[in-house]
């Protein structure tokens, strides 16, 4: 992603954002509330339409694709608030996103139920009757079933208990072994530090810093300042 700018109506939200995610890598986007992290994900996905710059995925420009084609290019989206549908059962929620062609890595329903036994048990309940943690699992599981090669995760730990956050962290490590690329937006720095390979820091719609996990220890101080912890 190069020089991405995005607008909500007349007001500009992103200013020349550059970002790289290499295959199989987990990248975390850090920053305070309202600096443009979610907007970056939503612009990348094509949900925010008013944007300019370059977005390439597998050497193919996806900026001009209609929203429903972006998923078929191989990108899955797990929104903030999880986006579980109340009028659909757990299994219908799971089956909703179409499997994307030509990836070959799509998990079958059986594999998903083996990985998430809770979902199997409650597959006929309405999606929103699950606990917050289970809903987050469902939101991630339904993307795994599509066989995309990259997942955009928006604040998966928000509002969840520490023990559930640990489980989601474990799950993301499992995803890594499947070779999936993950772009994670996260406020919970300690959670992100455990799973990410690379970090980007945003402030006021701009990218202000970028470093690998190996450089993390030397940066604690400047990070704390940027994140206002």
Partner 1 sequence: MTMIFGVPLVVLTGQLLIGLINGSFYALLSLGLAVIFGLLRVVNFAHGAFYMLGAFTAWMLGQYLGLGYWGALVLAPVIVGLVGALVERTMLRRLYDLDHLYGLLFTFGLALLLEGLFQHFFGSSGKPFSAPAEMKGILRTDFVTVPIYRGWVVVASLVVCFGTWALIEKTKIGSYLRAATEDSTLVQAFGVNVPLLLTLTYAFGCALAGIAGVLAAPIFQVSPTMGSNMIIIIFAVVVVGGMGSILGAIATGYLLGIVEGLTKVFYPEAANIVIFVIMAAVLMVRPAGLFGKEY
Residue whose CB is less far from partner 1, 60 or 220? 60
Residue whose CB is less far from partner 1, 71 or 165? 71
Residue whose CB is less far from partner 1, 38 or 93? 93
The dihedrals phi and psi of 5, each to the nearest 5 degrees, come to -120, 145
Least distance CB 47 / partner 1 (angstroms): 6
Least distance CB 203 / partner 1 (angstroms): 26
Distance CA 68, CA 170 (A): 30
The dihedrals phi and psi of 120, each to the nearest 5 degrees, come to -65, -45
Least distance CB 35 / partner 1 (angstroms): 22
Residue whose CB is less far from partner 1, 44 or 201? 44
What are the C-alpha distances in Å from 94 to residues 29, 36, 43, 168, 176?
A: 27, 29, 24, 17, 21
Residues 6+ positions from 77 with CB-CB distance below 8 Å: 41, 45, 47, 71, 143, 151, 152
Least distance CB 117 / partner 1 (angstroms): 23
Strand partners, 206: 203
Least distance CB 84 / partner 1 (angstroms): 9
Residue whose CB is less far from partner 1, 98 or 218? 98
Rg (CA), the chain: 17
The helix or strand, by DSSP H or E, that contains position 90, with its residue range, turns out to be helix 90-95
Residue whose CB is less far from partner 1, 4 or 75? 75
Q: Applying CB under 8 A, which residues contact partner 1?
A: 45-47, 66-72, 76-77, 79, 83, 85-88, 92-93, 95-98, 100, 146
What are the C-alpha distances in Å from 73 to residues 1, 38, 82?
A: 15, 20, 22
Least distance CB 67 / partner 1 (angstroms): 5
């Amino acid at each position: 992603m190069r020089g991405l700018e995005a607008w909500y109506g007349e007001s500009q939200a992103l200013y020349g954002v550059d970002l790289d995610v290499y295959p199989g890598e987990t990248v975390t986007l850090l920053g305070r509330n309202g600096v443009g992290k979610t907007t970056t994900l939503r612009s990348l996905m094509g949900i925010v339409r008013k944007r300019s710059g370059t977005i390439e995925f597998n050497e193919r420009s996806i900026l001009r694709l209609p929203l429903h084609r972006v998923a078929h290019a191989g990108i899955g989206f797990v929104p903030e608030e999880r986006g579980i549908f109340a009028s659909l059962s757990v299994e219908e929620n799971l089956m909703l996103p179409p499997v994307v062609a030509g990836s070959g890595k799509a998990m079958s329903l059986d594999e998903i139920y083996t990985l998430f036994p809770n979902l199997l048990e409650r597959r006929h309940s309405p999606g929103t009757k699950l606990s917050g943690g289970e809903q987050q699992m469902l939101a991630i599981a339904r993307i795994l079933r599509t066989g995309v090669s990259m997942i955009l995760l928006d604040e998966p730990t928000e509002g969840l208990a520490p023990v559930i956050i640990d489980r989601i962290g474990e799950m993301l490590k499992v995803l890594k072994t499947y070779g999936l690329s993950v772009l994670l937006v996260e406020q919970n720095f300690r959670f992100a530090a455990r799973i990410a390979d690379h970090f980007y820091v945003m402030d006021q719609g701009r990218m202000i810093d970028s470093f690998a996990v190996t450089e993390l220890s030397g940066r604690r101080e400047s990070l704390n300042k940027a994140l206002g912890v």
